[in-house]
Amino acid sequence: MDAVDDLVTLLPELILSALVLVVITVDLFLSRPNKWLLTPLTVAGLILAGAALIPVWGTNETVYDGFYVVDDLSLFFKGATIVIGIFSALFAPAYLVSRRLPLGEFNAMLLFALIGMCVLASSSDLITLFVGLELMVMPGYLLTGFHKTDRYSNEGGLKYFLLGSFASAILLFGVAWTYGLTGTTSVVGIAAALEGQMSGALLVAIAFLTVGGTFKIAAVPFHYWTPDAYQGAPTPITGFLSVGPKLGAFALLVRVFAEALAPLRADWLGVFLVLTVLTMTVGNVIALTQVNVKRMLAYSSIAHTGYIMAGLAAYAAAPTRELAQRGIESILFYVLGYGVMNIAAFAVVGMLQRDQSRFGGLNSFAGLASRAPARAAAMTILLLSLTGIPPTVGFFAKLYVLLATVDAGLQWLAVVIVLNAALAAYYYLRVIVTMYMRDAESEPAPIDGSPLGSVALALSVVGVVALGLFPGPILDLLRASAASIF
Amino acid sequence: MSDLPVLSLIVFTPLVGALLLLFVPGNAHRLIRWIALLASLASFGFSLALLGYDPAGAEFQFREELPWIPAFGMSYILGVDGISVVLVILTTLLSVVSIFYSWDPITTRVKEYYATMLLLMVGMLGVFVSLDLFLFYVFWEISLIPMYLVIGIWGGPRRVYATVKFVIYTLVGSLLMLVAILAVAIAHGSETGTFTFAYEQLRGFGYAESLQGLAFVAFFLAFAIKVPMWPLHTWLPDAHVEAPTAGSIILAGVLLKLGGYGFLRYSIPLLPDASVAFAPIIIGLAVIAIIYGALVAMVQPDLKKLVAYSSVSHMGFVMLGAFVFNQQGLAGAVFQMVSHGITTGALFLLVGIIYEQTHDRTIAHMGGLNARLPHYAAIFGLFTFASIGLPGLSGFVGEFLVVLGAFRYSGIVAALAMLVVIVGAVYMLWMFQRVFFTVPSGWMRAPWPRLRDMSRNEWLSLAPLIILVVALGVWPAPVLDMIAAPVDRIVEAASGAQGLTSLSWPWMGR
């Protein structure tokens, strides 16, 4: 296949790259009152990029000498990336503009991160993988510190940057060891070379890859950057950071652990089981003690990471190929569902922060049900979804993970997951209690009611319920996607 | 039988009502109440069609079946047998009663209140008619959240504590049940090659012993918390005391039955060996619940808490009847569920009537109400006697059958249960005496002139319950005929069971 044909399969990434340039250029020529036009522009571009995914569905081919793969798995990740991008672009403007933060730069950074996620999802070589990863996390560092005049934003950005660079270095070191041991950086090549192999040196490589990878998904005990970064970042950006880079990092984990290191899965399973249980339990227990909703959602995102990791553990423990595939499917479904519900939940927190002195404390939710019934109802559905109550996407996602773990023979892990879910119910319900069962403060903060945010919120709530009730169509896509790496 | 999807109509008419409410302005209270009432009445009307259930016909009738998520073998299968029929009608009836009763007492957030009550109906009815374990679980969870909101928003002073306790308790049990459901479906799927959640296919399959034991414990936790069985009952008094009257009616009348129904529909037929093996423990817990509930009820200073603890005792009878595995016991258990729903629902309603006027439920603060409220006292007396189990009223039939069944199992168990019927008479009559006879307390003098006897709405809400409690007491045959065949099937499932070799009881002589 020649280079021109290869380009066609890269169309979504190319559209996104062109979009970045367009956004930056247009931004120069728009006067301040017209900056909002950048949002529809970005969203339109994202939809176009999403449409470009459709013709390549089912191609499943490796291009550029094995550096880049366009298989259904990558396309599913890219689709989810674009969905997350659209919601992020819609939720952010009201919050950013009211704080006089530049919208053009935000959109550009967001798009860069999205491109990084797409590259990550498509990488069939550890070098591409690393490039994609850095392209994804660099804008993340910048976005965290996006509120230049805010102390917490700066602190969060700096912490994220320092620890993130450190973890990237560790990951890179793991890549180097793997290359040294196998003589290749190709994912398929590594898998072939590792068949039936195990040595002390390999263990070191796996250890480095595990630490680097689990840092990026914010698994315990590599999660310390998360609460500060999430709390410091402007709230809608936190929404993006809690799902976008997480999706990318799980794409990385799938590529590295479920593809490259697949032959050694019995060896890395144990570590992942420990990390999975630790992550969900520690995340939930700390979230219980939080009185700030933004920080609470940050810790809860750690717990959700744990649930998703259980899917990877199920993959590794599964006795048959079919059941292993179910583990991967559960990761994909959870990442998508979690993406939609968590961005929206953070967005609601952001809407209550119109007054800049607000930090997303629980009391800003008091009496929301009578002040803004529609928003309170939307938040209730999102929180129920995060808890995992049917008929929402959060429930079905959890069910999928449970199904995968029980199928793989990890019944005890399923029990740990549901006990954690019950624990999490306590702090999610506390927000509902505050909204519906407590009276508003004497001088409640104003609520942001921009139409763009409202539409996006309505869309995500509809999505959360619709995907929970009728996940059928997505399931077919999922199965095809997960099948493409086996 | 008609081709109308009767069951779907029963379940989803309230949902339509709730959705309609979204488009009604929040201050149009009258319209809101009418919409809610009509929606629940329509659902009740549809549920009467189930009386056409043919006890001699197929096991599950009015079946509906649609694929839902075929990739996972989840389908939308509805169907009812005799047990479901009586419980569905009980549910729709009590829902109408509680929605109608709420007409005057509920004045804040009226729209949200009725929407929540209608959603609650959807969840409860769905549980009783589902024949797919996954669908059942979805409805089971759906019924949880509205009750959480009802207690938490419209409840008493300690409502937040009570409702969070209620929801966490219930959620722990039901989430474990979800794992058990998945494990059962997967075990069946890997053995037969068809992965399905359909109840009729999963039932009667010989699951491995270890799975049966563990899954039974998970199911047991979910259902026993709901019933509630001692020692998992501690959420119940709190929830009842804080819940608004209509919430209590539904909680006692229907939600507790979800647990009892779960045992009869799922635990025993799906996992018969484990059920037989665990039966002695459950019977022991049931007897403790019967005695404990009655004794604790005796010393309650709060009228509502007294009724709540009496529920623990009465639901103990249900559990006892269910796990002695004979026709009398099981039929008694089902009948007791229906009777308890009517009687306790009515008692909570009656407690609500006095509470609305005095805002106090302390028994010591009452006294002499008979002089001021003769009608109220008469009706309260009727349900007091029904609760005690006076022959001629519905409470008698259920308890008598359960004790009969228990006697066939063990004389000592039956004797203990029978003794508690006497204790039941003690606490109910003593309460009645302190509330209605003697002289009015000093406290009562302040609200005394404002007290009014039963209003027209209160009469109308109670009328169906009064008729039923007498009718079923005198002539229980329609209900007993309806549930005879399903009860036989449960007995059959249990009698063929082997028990678990890892769990045998020395005193059982096995």
B22/A contact by beta carbon, under 8 A: no
Q: With contacts defined as CB-CB under 8 Å, which chain B residues touch A433?
A: 152, 160, 163-164
- Nearest residue, CB atoms, B176 vs list A395, A399, A418: A418
In chain B, whose CA is at the least distance from the CA of A414?
B179
In chain B, whose CA is at the least distance from the CA of A420?
B172
User: Mind listing the pLDDT tens digit for each residue in A287-311?
Assistant: 999 888 888 999 999 999 999 999 9
Q: Do B168 and A384 touch (CB under 8 A)?
A: no
The minimum CA-CA distance between A188 and chain B, rounded to whole Å, is: 30
What is the rounded end-to-end Cα distance, in angstroms, of chain B? 47
SS3 A354: coil
pLDDT at position B360, please? 83
Instruction: Please state the φ and ψ torsions of residue B83, each to the nearest 5 degrees.
Output: -65, -45
Q: What is the phi-psi region of residue B193: left when phi exceeds 0, alpha when psi lies from -120 to 50, beta otherwise?
A: left
Query: Mean pLDDT of all residues in chain B?
Result: 88
Q: With contacts defined as CB-CB under 8 Å, which chain B residues touch A414?
A: 179, 182-183
Helix, strand, coil in percent for chain A, rounding step 5: 80, 0, 20
pLDDT at B127 over 90: yes
Chain A and chain B share a number of CB contacts under 8 A equal to 84
- Nearest residue, CB atoms, B167 vs list A429, A470, A472: A429
Q: With contacts defined as CB-CB under 8 Å, which chain B residues touch A332?
A: none
Q: Do B142 and A390 touch (CB under 8 A)?
A: yes
Query: Is A267 buried (19+), middle (13-18) or exposed (0-12) by CB count in 10 A?
Result: middle
Q: Do B138 and A391 touch (CB under 8 A)?
A: yes
Q: Do A403 and B138 touch (CB under 8 A)?
A: no
- Nearest residue, CB atoms, A414 vs list B69, B145, B179: B179
SS3 A248: helix
CA B401 from centre of chain: 18
**Which residues are bridge partners to B69 per DSSP?**
B74
Percent above pLDDT 90 for chain B = 35
ipTM above 0.90, yes or no: no
* CA trace torsion B218, B220, B221, B226 (10° rounding): 140
Task: Give the pLDDT mean for A151-167.
Answer: 91
Q: Do A429 and B175 touch (CB under 8 A)?
A: no
pLDDT at A443 over 80: no
Q: In B, residues 154-173, which contact A (CB 8 Å cutoff)?
A: 159-160, 163-164, 167-168, 171-172
pLDDT band at B510 (very low <50, low <70, confident <90, very high): very low
Q: With contacts defined as CB-CB under 8 Å, which chain B residues touch A437?
A: 152-153, 159-160, 163
pLDDT at position A3, please? 67
The minimum CA-CA distance between A274 and chain B, rounded to whole Å, is: 20
pLDDT at A4 over 80: no
Please give the single-letter amino acid code of residue B449.
P
pLDDT band at A356 (very low <50, low <70, confident <90, very high): low
pLDDT band at B354 (very low <50, low <70, confident <90, very high): confident
Cβ-contact B103, B246 below 8 angstroms: no
pLDDT at position A394, please? 92
pLDDT at A229 over 60: yes
In chain B, whose CA is at the least distance from the CA of A475?
B71
The minimum CA-CA distance between A209 and chain B, rounded to whole Å, is: 32
Please give the single-letter amino acid code of residue A228.
D
A127/B contact by beta carbon, under 8 A: no
User: Mind listing the pLDDT tens digit for each residue in A309-320?
Assistant: 999 999 999 888
User: Mind listing the pLDDT tens digit for each residue in B259-316?
Assistant: 999 999 999 988 888 888 898 899 999 999 999 999 999 898 888 999 999 999 999 9
pLDDT at position A169, please? 93
- Nearest residue, CB atoms, B175 vs list A406, A411, A421: A421
Q: With contacts defined as CB-CB under 8 Å, which chain A residues touch B149?
A: 436
B470/A contact by beta carbon, under 8 A: no
Provide the whole-model pTM: 0.90
A384/B contact by beta carbon, under 8 A: yes
- Between residues B393 and A437, which one has the greater pLDDT? B393
Task: Give the pLDDT mean for A19-45.
Answer: 91
A44/B contact by beta carbon, under 8 A: no
pLDDT at A393 over 50: yes
pLDDT at B503 over 70: no
Cβ-contact B260, B322 below 8 angstroms: yes
B176/A contact by beta carbon, under 8 A: yes
Cβ-contact A26, A108 below 8 angstroms: no
Interface probe for B, chosen from A280, A389, A475 (most Cβ of B below 10 Å), is A389
- Nearest residue, CB atoms, A437 vs list B160, B176, B178: B160
- Nearest residue, CB atoms, B183 vs list A373, A406, A437: A406
Task: Give the pLDDT mean for A207-219.
Answer: 91
Q: List the structure tokens of B96.
A: 């109408």
pLDDT at A371 over 70: yes
Q: Do A389 and B141 touch (CB under 8 A)?
A: yes
d(CA B458, CA B376): 10
pLDDT band at B1 (very low <50, low <70, confident <90, very high): very low
pLDDT at B508 over 70: no
pLDDT at B91 over 90: yes
Q: List the structure tokens of A193.
A: 């070379």
Q: Do B71 and A475 touch (CB under 8 A)?
A: yes
Task: Give the pLDDT mean for A71-92.
Answer: 93
Q: Do A415 and B176 touch (CB under 8 A)?
A: yes
A458/B contact by beta carbon, under 8 A: no
pLDDT at A461 over 90: yes
CA distances from A353 to A242, A265, A346, A449 (A): 18, 45, 11, 11
pLDDT band at A363 (very low <50, low <70, confident <90, very high): confident
Q: Do A426 and B186 touch (CB under 8 A)?
A: no
pLDDT at B509 over 50: no
